[in-house]
Amino acid sequence: MTACRAARDLAKDRHEGRIGANEVLGRRLGNRVDQSQLNWIISFIWGIADDVLRDLYVRGKYRDVILPMTVLRRLDVVLEPTKQAVLEMKASLDKAGIVHQDQALR
């Protein structure tokens, strides 16, 4: 199962109420943290949500934003080592006028 699919499945299970936020985070971290660490991480994330998302979203809708943002950040971190090379390749393909760039950028 790919990381994206696993994240999507976790988000769906959480959204549909089959599992709780603690279980989602525990699964994402591979159950490598104890409960006190997990509670601190959860409090930290919700604290950021309160500071950043207040007045943009109703508190009950934060979860619809937090998990996708967390997944996007994780993807950003995973892809960071190749980001500069991909951007340079993209610029060279654009300069050469190549329209179908998908295969070259993989």
State the residue range of the domain holding 11. Answer: 3-80
Structure tokens given for 96:
């050469």
Is the model's pLDDT at 91 over the cut of 80?
yes
| Count of Cβ atoms closer than 10 Å to residue 47 Cβ | 10
- The answer to whether the CB of 21 falls within 8 A of the CB of 42 is yes
Structure tokens given for 67:
């998990």
Give the residue ranges of DSSP H helices in the chain: 3-15, 21-28, 35-53, 63-96
Confidence of residue 24 (pLDDT cuts 50, 70, 90): low
For residues 2 and 77, what is the distance between their CA atoms, to the nearest angstrom?
16
pTM over 0.85: no
- pLDDT tens for each residue of 33-50: 677 777 887 788 778 777
For residue 32, tell me if it sits in a domain: yes
For residues 84 and 29, what is the distance between their CA atoms, to the nearest angstrom?
28
**12 compared with 56, residue with greater pLDDT:** 56
Average pLDDT over residues 87-91: 91
Structure tokens given for 42:
């959860």
Number of domains in the chain: 1
Name the average pLDDT for the chain: 75
Q: Is 20 helix (H, G, I), strand (E, B) or coil?
A: coil
